[in-house]
Structure 1
């Protein structure tokens, strides 16, 4: 894992009332070490979301490239 926290960022907007929890890197690593199955599921879901974001970004790039909006 990367050790530079400046390289990570996230933002979110809640459209309804909700609760929010945080989990430090150390706590996440400890959790994954204690329960490998849970660690796997967390990693799988995070990577799935990342894949979705990459596919969405690729579609946007193709749209703008096809529309010749890059100049």
Structure 2
């Protein structure tokens, strides 16, 4: 395959592996990890928004009830 500039050559017979042998697995790992983190972040944001909407709607209902009781 194509060897990019950041990937250095490893001497033959060395036990050390170059990036070209591990790069794809590492990239795939981080892609999956980042996707998972983004998903978790979005879920937490949706939960916060949902909680706020529930509170706002409950507050709105409370305001309506107070207004109705004050009319009578």
**TM-score, normalised by the number of residues in structure 1:** 0.48
More helix by share: 2
**TM-score, normalised by the number of residues in structure 2:** 0.47
The structure with the largest alpha-carbon Rg is 2
